[in-house]
Amino acid sequence: MTTLAFLDTPPRFLFFTGKGGVGKTSVACATAIRLAHAGQRVLLVSTDPASNVGQVLGIHIGNTITPIPHVVGLSALEIDPEQAAAAYRERIIAPVRDLLPAVEITLMTEQLSGSCTTEIASFNEFTDLLATPELTAAYDHVIFDTAPTGHTIRLLQLPGSWTDFLNEGKGDASCLGPLSGLEKQRATYARAVDALKDPAITRLVLVSRAQKSSLAEAARTLSELATIDIACTNLVINGVLPASVGAKPGASEDELTTAIRTRESAAIAQMPAALAAITTDIIDLKIANMMGVEALVGLLADEQAVEHEEGVGGAPWVLGVMEAPHAPLRAIIDQLEADEHGLVLCMGKGGVGKTTVAAAIAVALAHRGHDVTLTTTDPAAHLSETLQGEVPSLTVTRIDPESATQIYRDRVMKSKGSKLDDIGKAALWEDLQSPCTEEVAVFQQFSRAVHESQNKFVIVDTAPTGHTLLLLDAAGSYHREVARQMGDSIAYITPLMRLQDPVATKVVIVTLAEPTPVMEAAELQDDLKRAGIAPYAWVVNNSLAAAGPSSPFLRQRAANELPQIARVEELAPRVAVIPLLAEEPIGEARLTALGR
């Protein structure tokens, strides 16, 4: 087995975090299996709102600790936000259900149905595992597979945020329902903070790909966590093209293989200095998709890809003659342009290329003479790095949680606070320090973007699936509150109603031609349909099959994509397939080419 630094004398808690799509779940699952095979008792926990641990391990897990068949000593838990929120609501409402009028119970239930409650409920389960030894006493190690970076930073900041809020604030307006259960958790939050900051107890491992953007995101995570005194000690660079992949004896390496190798080597060599200073492990790209225990065991095994003229690893060709999928992005852009304005939401799992696709659509529409705004709701997105310059007719913005929260606080203090005395103003300001305020502020800015799309194109690069669904949940809560207040007497249009209008809003689901991203995209489509939102199109990004590689190793990887592309074609009303490119689609010129 490979000797890996991040597994050298592992502490009780292991956290895996990083940009979406880098393989955090695969590495976390493989680590859990390896420790269990070594005789350790392991609990694997997912804190991702869009968890796919169960899919990777091939078993339904959910919000209860579940033993994993065929892996003695391993159990898993997916912190399900909706189940956690339901249990949280019941704990608060049950003691007063028979004491209060039905209308009051209904109002409390509504107050406890927003994204703020969902976050607090999930957060409580997370901190309980860190801070309550008896909950995990049966296990030697607890491994956390976390959400993509932006959401993880938010999660790890929360112990300090809620502790500070309880220590310094006494607000009760914006979070009246959720806060009713927080005071009891004060000691738990404090212990969770201590555990996160103690390297003898907790090891936080950054997972990245050998890509400039992914490594830059890892460096930002390293810096942001340092500001809250949480140290990342290890880096795992996952999915690196093996050295053995390339030309057959006596032949030159194909262009795509050379381009991938050159790009990865340059990214590793030029990674930010702070990131290069921490202990690093490199895990080779494997020929199989990481689905099932057997494949996961192989992820950390000391194996090298061996290529043969007749196939890979001595096996016969799977592909034979492959016809590359031909479904250009331009066809979808042509159809989007026909309405001359509207909201386009690029949604999907982290790391599938939503930012690239959103930027390519925005650049194409701007080049065609339309007024376009390109914005993002992703805390970890950096559109400027993708565009690398200004584009005529294109305005680039970002719904930044910190600035949105400050703007919201200032506006509330100016309006509501102007009618209060000094004591009332102080109480209102304390209330606005609640971490829940951020959810309200971000939703308000998102709503503004929805409104602007009535007169121009607004292209939104959304946060990874789970976080975006929480934003849509906020839209639903707001819609229900407006409907309750307005009744049938006054006409109104809420952001949710615009999202449900197929003329006003087009949802483009971005995925990769791999089992987990396609499964998650299908679940996202189902979630959207339940909310009354019908996806407009799917984009399969970075397809090896569409790139037509000649390397046997890459051709086998491409063959694995074909069933997934066929599945997308069954699910999607419209499909575009973008090939894996020799050069990353960064900058106006390459994004323009992508849109063609």
Per-residue pLDDT tens over the stretch 51-61: 677 777 877 77
Write the CATH number of the domain with boundaries 5-80+136-163+186-242+252-304.
3.40.50.300
| DSSP strands (E only) in 318-370 | 342-347
Average pLDDT, consecutive stretches of 10 residues, N- to C-terminus, the chain (596 residues):
83 86 87 93 81 75 83 87 77 79 76 65 76 86 75 54 53 42 62 82 91 86 81 91 69 76 92 93 88 83 52 44 71 92 87 89 94 80 74 85 78 82 77 66 77 89 61 54 50 64 91 88 86 90 88 87 92 93 83 85
Residue 490 CA to residue 378 CA, distance in Å, equals 35
Contacts of 300 (CB under 8 A, 6+ apart): 1, 2, 4, 30, 31, 34, 283
Other beta carbons within 10 Å of 132? 13
Place of tokens 């999915």: 239
pLDDT at residue 53, as a whole number: 77
**What span, in angstroms and rounded, lies between the C-alpha atoms of 201 and 42?**
15
Q: Which CATH architecture has domain 329-405+446-595?
A: 3-Layer(aba) Sandwich (3.40)
Residue keyed to tokens 């399900």: 80
Beta bridge partners of 236: 207, 281
- Please report the pLDDT score of residue 489 as a whole number: 52
Rounded Cα distance between 188 and 351, Å, is: 33
Tokens 């910190």 sit on residue: 402
In the chain, where the domains are located = 5-80+136-163+186-242+252-304, 329-405+446-595
Which residues, at least 6 apart from 156, have a Cβ–Cβ distance to it below 8 Å?
Answer: 196, 225, 228, 230
Active site residues: 21, 23-26, 48, 516
Fold: same for 5-80+136-163+186-242+252-304 and 329-405+446-595: yes
DSSP per-residue string spanning 151-174: HHHHHHHHHHHHHHHHHH----ST
Q: What is residue 367's predicted lDDT score, i.e. its pLDDT?
A: 94
